[in-house]
């Protein structure tokens, strides 16, 4: 009777221990599983199913046909319209994303200042984002109308020639990019603003003590500090930019990107192939996959490039500093009475940990940290 | 201390703002949120009817999917429900026919799940749907054979005699024009005079363009709105525009009737007859207020859109004349998808909805001109006038225009692909002005070749 008791107690402990071990091991996965389950259902499954569709003959109404291998891909790549749509997509993407990110950073920097009724201004820049894209397209459609549009009326009013917004590829791209920028600049600005608010104020204080003006603070403190956010915004706006649909679709009444397909984007082309006259789901699925691979590729390039630029930013700065030193603006180590301030700006620009990391990998940064100028500070 | 609290409040605000942003982004990111909601409503309706039908066999619910405004009022459905105990009817309306089309074709492709019991379609969707007649219930019924004008029935009849849709409305074309602008240009301006001016019963496109030249010489406005729309009216009078009756596409490069129309229309653009507008575009909308053009081809249903855009402009009128004989533009049908649970009941409802009595009511409430012979001659239609068009007797005019329609053109599976190639060409010349007639025609022929049809 006494014998079974001792092992029973440990066994009970063991079971609850096992439970709690399970709890520790499994619970985290359970907690995050809703996202992955949803993703599998709404993201992964359509992705894979699209791949299946893309290797078959598949009519929207007729359904699945014969297996054709990669023929759909070959057909799509052989269509001049596909390449034209890629050109348009990239052109609109560049015309929208680049000015958008730049404007958003500047806007965020302005909002980051001590403004009166800051919340009002911050919510104000968000307003365009709340407007439905189709409504934006309709309003801008009236602004950019060829004959009776407001923009052309203004142009002719000051004696310029009206612009054929719906005829020339570049003009139509600019008009569409304007709509995209109108919608997204404020949104990105708020993301940048959030990042800027997280920049330690000590860095600015140090910079001010070192005599850096607003502009210098912006380039030497703010921009390097929000680098990670810049990468994030660039990548999301790339993904969004390559999938532009609403704006070009609504840009004219026909919705196919103009008679010469001047502003037909790739997603619009996909839509036309699947739901337009062809009803060819197989080819449309092939376009979708090509676009997916392309976005993946550009996303990777983008990532590498943005990192590179971020690192170059550090290098560029030390190069600039060297140039300044050569011109005598920044004092040489053994220098005169005004020595220390600018160098403090330089050290403030890089967070301490980052400086150490950079010095490990960056041959230029290495000497910079052991720079006598810096040790003087 | 104080400043740090201020800062943390600011940070919190920014965080809240960005959180709100992220949430909004997730919610509205797809951009088609409203569509999805519409779909699910409709899907729910379809499911409900299935359940009810399977449940008792007594209580059934029928859904009717329409778009724009078919003129089917709730009172009409109440009346039907009162006459048919155990049947409830619900109408699902899409704002635009495009939305309804995407919704329907996608669901047909998915095996019919979520389709309404009765799906309204436009005549232009028929070529592709006729390739899959098995998706629809055969609606042919000897008792109803004489209800519609014959060509309307022919449009929805497959080669082996299956009828996939009951006709609702048609679009007999007349000429809508600006009486005030005619007067100002010194042309005869009452509807009768204009009808005579354009040739009366023997009106031809040549006279239409010729009078146009006189008009533009004396006015700042253009003669008509759009080359594409005018071409549309002309090409609808050819029996076999782009394809032979067995569906074989004609080679566009040697299609002489089309080349003749092309020459005529592009020449008219060069003569300044066209306002160079694309229909339904922002410029087109604005032109109604700016005296952009004096006439336009005017199917019965177009009177609504004109009134919408030309509010405050008083000169519009309708002339009982159409160049080249009669012409039809547009019109709709009610179909019964074969996948429905209560196809028999749905067929009965569709027959009732397209009866002369109901269509007469629909005409008075929404202006959709009936395709039913009896409805066209009813007094309600015959005596109908439109105050916006200076009380023009539009009912009588469009009935007369409907009599002039000889038949419906053949539109096979490739009709719209080829038609788009030509329309794009006209748009290049007339609207975008990036090409002259010859180089644009070359591009259209190339686009036709790229279709790979011959």
List of chain A residues whose C-beta atoms are within 8 Å of the C-beta of residue B279: 253
Report which of residues A377 and A311 the model is more confident about.
A311
Look at A14-28, A230-244, B50-64, B340-354 and tell me which has the smallest mean pLDDT: B50-64
Element (H, E) at B168: strand B166-178
Q: Encode pLDDT of B24-38 as tens digits.
A: 434 333 333 333 333
Average pLDDT, chain B: 86
State the CATH class of domain A83-259.
Answer: mainly alpha
Distance from C-alpha of A314 to C-alpha of A347, rounded to nearest angstrom: 11
- CA nearest A191 in B: which residue? B18
Q: Look at A147 and B15 and tell me if their CB atoms are within 8 Å.
A: no
Whether B427 and chain A come into contact, CB under 8 Å, resolves to yes
Q: Look at B450 and A80 and tell me if their CB atoms are within 8 Å.
A: yes
Question: What are the domain boundaries of chain B?
Answer: 44-170+331-382, 171-328+412-450
Q: Which residues contact B63 (CB under 8 A, 6 or more apart)?
A: B42, B45, B46, B49, B89, B90, B91, B92, B116, B117, B118
**Closest by Cβ to A166, choosing from B15, B25, B432:** B432
| Helix, strand, coil distribution of chain B in percent, nearest 5 | 55, 15, 30
Q: Encode pLDDT of B107-139 as tens digits.
A: 988 888 899 999 999 998 998 899 899 999 999
Q: What is the reported pLDDT for A340?
A: 41
Q: Look at B31 and A147 and tell me if their CB atoms are within 8 Å.
A: no
Whether B7 and chain A come into contact, CB under 8 Å, resolves to yes
Do A189 and A125 touch, CB atoms closer than 8 A? Answer: yes
Q: What is the reported pLDDT for B371?
A: 94
Three-class DSSP category at A66: strand
B339 CA: distance to closest CA in chain A (Å)? 14
A181 CA: distance to closest CA in chain B (Å)? 16
Beta pairing class for A63-67 and B222-224: unpaired
Whether A45 and chain B come into contact, CB under 8 Å, resolves to no
Q: Look at B427 and A254 and tell me if their CB atoms are within 8 Å.
A: yes
Give me the residues of A, 319-358, that contact B with CB < 8 A: none
Residue B320 has phi, psi (to 5 degrees) of -80, 70
Give me the residues of B, 263-302, that contact A with CB < 8 A: 276-284, 286-287, 290, 292
Three-class DSSP category at B170: strand
Whether B186 and chain A come into contact, CB under 8 Å, resolves to no
Say yes or no to pLDDT of B424 above 80: yes
Give me the residues of A, 174-213, that contact B with CB < 8 A: 187, 190-191, 193-194, 197-198, 201
Q: Encode pLDDT of A342-374 as tens digits.
A: 444 444 444 444 433 333 444 443 333 334 343
Name the residue among B230, B389, B388 with its Cα closest to residue B322. Answer: B230
Whether B12 and chain A come into contact, CB under 8 Å, resolves to no
Tokens found for residue A122: 């911050």
Indicate the CATH number of B44-170+331-382 among 3.40.190.10, 3.20.20.70, 1.10.1530.10, 3.30.70.260. Answer: 3.40.190.10
Q: Encode pLDDT of A272-298 as tens digits.
A: 999 888 889 999 999 999 999 999 998
Q: Encode pLDDT of B266-288 as tens digits.
A: 999 999 999 999 998 999 999 99
Say yes or no to pLDDT of B391 above 60: yes
Distance from C-alpha of B209 to C-alpha of A197, rounded to nearest angstrom: 68
**Closest by Cβ to A61, choosing from B128, B283, B424:** B128
Mean pLDDT of the A256-268 span = 93
Q: Look at B17 and A197 and tell me if their CB atoms are within 8 Å.
A: no
Helix (DSSP H) and strand (DSSP E) numbers for chain A? 19, 2
**Closest by Cβ to A145, choosing from B276, B286, B416:** B286
**Closest by Cβ to A252, choosing from B15, B278, B417:** B278
B286 CA: distance to closest CA in chain A (Å)? 7
Q: Look at B283 and A149 and tell me if their CB atoms are within 8 Å.
A: yes
Say yes or no to pLDDT of A99 above 90: yes
Report which of residues A1 and B356 the model is more confident about.
B356
Q: Look at B286 and A148 and tell me if their CB atoms are within 8 Å.
A: yes
Q: What is the reported pLDDT for B165?
A: 95
pLDDT confidence band for B360 (50 / 70 / 90): very high
Q: What is the reported pLDDT for B2?
A: 44
Q: CB pairs below 8 Å between A and B: how many?
A: 123
DSSP per position, A230-258: HHHHHHHHHHHHTT--HHHHHSSSS-SS-
Say yes or no to pLDDT of A64 above 70: yes
State the CATH class of domain B171-328+412-450.
Answer: alpha beta
Over B201-236, what HEC string results? HHCCHHHHHHHHHHHHHHCCCEEECCHHHHHHHHHC
């Amino acid at each position: 009777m006494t014998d079974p008791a001792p092992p029973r107690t440990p066994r009970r402990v063991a079971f609850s221990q096992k439970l709690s071990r399970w709890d520790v091991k499994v619970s985290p996965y359970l907690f995050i599983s809703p996202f992955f389950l949803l993703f599998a259902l709404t993201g992964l499954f359509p992705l894979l199913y699209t791949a299946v569709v893309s290797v078959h003959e598949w009519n929207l109404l007729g359904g699945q046909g014969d297996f054709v291998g990669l023929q759909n891909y070959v057909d799509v790549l052989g269509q001049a319209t596909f390449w034209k749509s890629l050109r348009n997509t990239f052109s609109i993407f560049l015309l929208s994303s680049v000015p958008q990110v730049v404007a958003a950073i500047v806007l965020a920097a302005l909002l980051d200042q001590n403004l009166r009724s800051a919340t009002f201004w911050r919510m104000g820049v968000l307003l365009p984002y709340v407007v439905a894209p189709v409504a934006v397209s309709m309003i801008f459609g009236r602004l950019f109308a060829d004959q009776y549009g407001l923009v052309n009326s203004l142009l002719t009013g000051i004696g310029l020639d009206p612009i054929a917004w719906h005829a020339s590829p570049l003009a139509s791209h600019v008009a569409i990019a304007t709509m995209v920028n109108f919608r997204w600049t404020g949104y990105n600005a708020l993301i940048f603003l959030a990042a800027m608010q997280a920049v330690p104020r000590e860095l600015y204080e140090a910079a001010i003590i070192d005599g850096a003006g607003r502009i210098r603070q912006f380039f030497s403190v703010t921009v390097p500090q929000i680098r990670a956010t810049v990468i994030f915004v660039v990548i999301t706006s790339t993904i969004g930019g390559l999938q532009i649909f609403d704006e070009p679709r609504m840009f004219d009444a026909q919705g196919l990107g103009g008679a010469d397909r001047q502003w037909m984007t790739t997603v619009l082309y996909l839509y036309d192939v699947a739901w337009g006259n062809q009803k060819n789901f197989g080819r449309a699925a092939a376009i979708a996959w090509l676009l997916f691979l392309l976005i993946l590729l550009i996303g990777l390039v983008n990532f590498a490039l943005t990192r590179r630029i971020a690192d170059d930013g550090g290098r560029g700065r030390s190069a600039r500093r060297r140039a300044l030193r050569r011109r005598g603006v920044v004092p040489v180590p053994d220098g005169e009475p005004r020595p220390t301030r600018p160098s403090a700006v330089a050290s403030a620009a890089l967070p301490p940990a980052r400086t150490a990391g950079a010095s490990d990998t960056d041959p230029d940064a290495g000497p910079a940290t052991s720079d006598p100028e810096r040790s003087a500070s | 201390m104080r400043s740090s609290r201020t800062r943390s409040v600011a940070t919190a605000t920014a965080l809240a703002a960005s959180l709100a942003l992220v949430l909004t982004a997730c919610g509205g990111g797809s951009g088609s949120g409203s569509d999805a909601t519409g779909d699910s409503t409709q899907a729910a309706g379809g499911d409900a009817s299935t359940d009810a039908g399977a449940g008792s066999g007594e209580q059934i619910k029928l859904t009717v999917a329409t778009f724009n405004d078919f003129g089917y009022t709730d009172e009409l459905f109440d009346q039907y429900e009162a006459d048919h105990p155990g049947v409830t009817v619900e109408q699902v309306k899409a704002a635009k026919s495009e939305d309804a089309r995407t919704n329907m074709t996608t669901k047909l492709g998915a095996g019919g799940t979520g389709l309404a019991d009765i799906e309204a379609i436009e005549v232009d969707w028929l070529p592709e749907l006729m390739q899959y007649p098995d998706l629809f219930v055969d609606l042919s019924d000897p008792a109803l054979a004489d209800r519609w004008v014959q060509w309307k029935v022919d449009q929805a009849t497959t080669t082996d005699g299956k009828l996939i849709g009951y006709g609702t409305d048609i679009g007999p074309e007349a000429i809508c024009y600006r009486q005030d602008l005619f007067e100002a240009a010194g042309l005869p301006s009452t509807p009768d005079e204009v009808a005579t001016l354009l040739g009366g019963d023997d009106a031809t496109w040549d006279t239409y363009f010729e009078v146009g030249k006189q008009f533009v010489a004396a006015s700042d406005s253009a003669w008509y709105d759009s080359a594409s729309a005018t071409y549309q009216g002309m090409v609808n009078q050819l029996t076999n525009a782009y394809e032979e009756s067995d569906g074989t596409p004609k080679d566009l490069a040697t299609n002489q009737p089309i080349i003749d129309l092309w020459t005529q229309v592009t020449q008219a653009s060069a003569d300044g007859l066209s306002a160079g507008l694309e229909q339904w575009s922002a410029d087109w909308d604005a032109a109604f207020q700016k005296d952009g053009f004096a006439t336009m081809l005017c199917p019965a249903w177009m009177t609504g859109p004109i009134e919408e855009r030309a509010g405050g402009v008083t000169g519009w009128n309708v002339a009982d004349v159409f160049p080249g004989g009669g012409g039809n533009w547009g019109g709709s049908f009610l179909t019964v998808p074969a996948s429905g649970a209560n196809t028999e009941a749905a067929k009965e409802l569709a027959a009732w909805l397209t009866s002369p009595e109901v269509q007469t009511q629909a005409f008075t409430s929404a202006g959709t001109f009936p395709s039913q012979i009896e409805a066209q001659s009813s007094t309600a239609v015959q005596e109908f006038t439109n105050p916006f068009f200076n009380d023009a007797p539009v009912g009588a005019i469009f009935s007369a225009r409907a009599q002039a329609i000889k038949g419906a053109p053949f539109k096979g599976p490739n009709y719209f692909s080829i038609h788009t190639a030509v329309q794009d060409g006209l748009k290049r010349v007339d609207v975008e002005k990036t090409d002259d007639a010859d180089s644009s025609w070359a591009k259209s022929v190339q686009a036709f070749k790229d279709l790979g049809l011959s």
